[in-house]
Amino acid sequence: MKKSFKLTKVFNIPVEVNYSWFIILALIVFTLAMNFFPATDPELNPFTHWLMAIIAALLLFASLLAHELSHSLVAQKNNLPIKGITLFVFGGVAHMEKEPQSPMVEFKMAIAGPLMSFTLALIFFGLNQFFYYFYFPKALVSITLYLFLVNLIIGIFNLIPGFPLDGGRIFRAALWAYFKDLRKATSIASWCGRAFAFFLIALGILNIFNRNIIPGLWFIFIGFFLSEAADASYRNVVMKNILGGMRIGDFMTKDIISVNAKITLEKLIDDYFFKYRHAAFPVIEDDKVIGLITLHDIKEVPRDKWPTTHAKEIIIPLSRDLTINKNKEALDALTKMARTGFGRLLVVEDSKIIGILSQKDIMRLFEFKSEIEG
Ligand SMILES: [Zn+2]
């Protein structure tokens, strides 16, 4: 299942929204309509409070987008292609295809987001003062007050030096410049990220003991999210470091056992799956590869149909998602597998299969190389 959907394209960068964002959006609207605006404007009616809450939440959404876009634009300027932006629970992630090439680039990219948030805070503060002194409707004063506060908080929160927050990236850039070792820098910075995450979780538990249930749950929630993000981005860097430059053609499985499109499932099980114990086989018709058949898909067919069903009827047909070029890198394959959910890719050249590659192959290569390179 996809966890996010495409919203729009800004400056040629696809923007996706994670489904978790809708829960948060609803929570924010609810909190604003029930607590924040009734406190700032008790004289306005509930309908107006809800309307203000929706407008404020949408502007918050736009503020987060502006924060992420500023990272992405700096990245693009420094020749780091951005595949897209995904807006998450509290902020977003810009998907870079490569790691920044130098500490300075990383620093500029990381600082761009908080700078944008602080600029927005300043703008909303200016508007707030303007609306206030010139007697604009009270609702406008309160909405701009909220956006001033929330952009200030986003700016400050992101400066916390725990990787992968922006502050953590700035910290990593400094460590990287000092140690001249990206992996070491990432390791220290993500350790700080985890430490901060546990601090938040502890703070959350303390709050709950003091009967501040809702803020407590928020702290715990953000803490878990951060600790997971710190782990994931560290793994990612290590993977990129170790697997970087490994071409698929160099480590794919070349002695391929393929099956004929007309073979029945029963024969396929007896003569191939039992014999070779692979989880999938490429399927050939007229000397051309037409797809992949997996044990998983065979099991979906009722057993009494096995003698009469042919391989061709249940294959995963050849497509761009199922194939990869031999000149691509191991990480490209992993990214593709993660995106499509296929555990195997076929390496095809002129409609002939020249190799097959499974997620396990890549993991084995990774273990082997980390063993050797320490
Ligand atoms: Zn940021």
Provide the pLDDT for residue 1. Answer: 38
Identify the pLDDT of residue 91.
60
Q: Tens-digit pLDDT profile for the chain (374 aa)?
A: 356 667 667 777 777 777 777 888 888 898 888 888 988 888 888 899 999 999 999 999 889 889 988 988 888 888 777 766 777 655 666 666 666 778 888 899 889 999 999 999 999 999 999 999 988 888 899 999 999 999 999 899 888 887 778 888 899 899 989 988 877 888 888 888 888 889 989 999 999 999 888 778 888 888 888 888 787 777 777 777 777 777 888 888 888 888 888 898 888 888 888 888 888 888 988 888 888 898 888 888 888 888 888 888 888 888 888 888 888 888 788 778 877 778 888 898 887 888 888 888 888 887 777 777 65
CB 20 within 8 A of CB 35: no
- Assign 3-class secondary structure to 35-84: HHHHHHCCCCCHHHHHHHHHHHHHHHHHHHHHHHHHHHHHHHHCCCCEEE
Beta-carbon contacts of residue 99 (< 8 Å; ≥ 6 apart):
106, 182, 237, 240
Per-residue confidence (pLDDT) for residue 244, from 0 to 100: 72
Compute the distance from residue 66 Cα to the ligand 1 centre, in Å: 10
Please say which residue of 243, 271, 286 terminates a domain. Answer: 243
Q: How far is the CA of 173 from the centre of ligand 1 (A)?
A: 15
Q: Ligand 1 centre from 272 Cα, in Å?
A: 51
Residue with tokens 């000397």: 287
Q: What is the pTM for the complete model shown?
A: 0.66
User: Rounded to the nearest whole angstrom, what is the distance from the C-alpha of residue 131 to the centroid of ligand 1?
Assistant: 29
Residues 266 and 288 in one domain: yes
Q: Reduce the secondary structure of 229-290 to three states and give it as a string.
A: HHHHHHHHHHHHHHHCCCEHHHHCECCCCCEECCCEHHHHHHHHHHHHCCCEEEEEECCEEE
Phi, psi (rounded to 5 degrees) for 162? -115, 120
**112 in the same domain as 130:** yes
**How far apart are the C-alpha atoms of 318 and 290, rounded to whole Å?**
5
190 and 105 co-located in one domain: yes
Gap between the Cα atoms of 139 and 302, Å rounded:
64
Instruction: Give the residue from 160, 209, 213 showing the smallest Cα distance to 189.
Output: 160
Distance 152 CA to ligand 1 centre (A): 13
Q: Where are the alpha helices (DSSP H) in 96-181?
A: 103-133, 138-158, 166-179
- CB-based contact 223:204 (threshold 8 Å): yes
- d(CA 116, ligand 1 centre) in Å: 9
Q: For residues 332-355, b (16+ Cβ closer than 10 Å) or e, as one string?
A: bbbebbeeeebebbbbbeeeebeb
In this structure, the answer to whether residues 193 and 281 fall within a common structural domain is no
Pair 184, 259 in one domain: no
Q: List the CATH number of the domain containing 263.
A: 3.10.580.10
pLDDT recorded at residue 203: 92
Output the pLDDT for position 97: 60
Q: Looking at the structure, tell me whether residues 264 and 227 fall in a common domain.
A: no
Measured from the Cβ of residue 363, the count of other Cβ atoms closer than 10 Å reads 12
304-309: long-range pairs with CB below 8 Å, 24+: 305/265, 306/264, 306/265, 306/266, 306/269, 307/264, 307/265, 307/266, 308/264, 309/264, 309/265
Question: End of a domain among 205, 224, 243?
Answer: 243
Ligand 1 geometric centre to CA of 166 (Å) = 5
Distance 207 CA to ligand 1 centre (A): 27
15 and 162: one domain? yes
CB atoms within 10 A of CB 319: 10
218 and 303 in a single domain? The answer is no
User: Which pLDDT score is estimated for 186?
Assistant: 83
pLDDT at position 4: 65
| Both structure tokens of 71 | 């990272």
Number of domains in the chain: 2
**Quick one: 252 and 364 in the same domain?**
yes
Last residue of a domain, one of 243, 260, 276: 243
Same domain, yes or no: 161 and 148:
yes
Say yes or no: 363 and 278 in one domain. yes
- Do 268 and 339 fall within a single domain? yes
> Whose CA is closest to 344, among 363, 366, 367, 360?
360
Q: Are 18 and 5 in contact (CB under 8 A)?
A: no
Residues of the domain holding 52: 4-243
